[in-house]
Amino acid sequence: MDDAPVALVTGAGRGLGAAVAAALDAAGFRLVLTDIATDIALDKPADHHPADGYPNSTKADLDAVAAGCQQAIAIRADVREQGELDAAAALALREFGRLDVAVAVAGVIAGGRPLWETDDETWRTVNAVALDGVFHLVRAALPAIRNAPAGRFVAVSSAAGTRGLYGLAAYCAAKHGVVGLVRGLAADLVGTRVTANVVCPGSMDTTMLAETARIYGLAGVESFADHALQRRLLDPAEVAAAVAWLCSPAAGAVTGTVLPVDAGFQG
């Protein structure tokens, strides 16, 4: 295991991030797993949070994900803070001696109003986590990943990264931004064997989808299945499998690509 590749994953405390951790663990990666890991939504009281109490994962959640992996270190990190991701990348190098892969999963959803009624806090929070967080991970991880024998950077966008969704313009803007950022990163990596790609999931049965249902005033998540050609919700493990493939040697010729894993999402 001492020569096994090393991956840094953000948003690993639950949902898709936890599924990505499990998939990379199964593929033999050593892992540094990060999450904001606090039971207070984005460090603010619920009544001040744009998602009205939408909870983060906790440190216990993150520790449990790490404990379920063969070789993983859990570290609390807020993707809005460059220094915290720098520390996570430094931890990978210090503990494992290398960093081969970074996967940006951390995100937050908020909205429910037309764009012109969107408040500054919602706009800034969604973009700070979903877009700035990816940028911060690039800056933290790429100096090491560029030296890896098969370096990989994968960011999670969304079906909202390629289309508009009612009441979620800030989220759509951030997720479109992730697509543009990673395509630009792939261009900056010209002449190297390091790849940079985006995965755009559809509706997964996660806490974030439950929050989306709340935003839309729905009783539950089941009706989101009607927007997919397969008429079902995705299991996060299905999306994580695509992420893990993009992190593998088999995907060495794939870069600057946006991969939908959405059961045929139609909007």
End-to-end CA distance of the chain: 43
- Active site includes 171? yes
> Residue 215, Cβ neighbours under 10 Å: how many?
20
What are phi and psi for residue 34, nearest 5 degrees?
A: -125, 155
Contacts with 217 (C-beta within 8 Å, 6 or more apart), sequence order: none
Which amino acid, 26? Answer: A
The residues assigned a catalytic role are 171
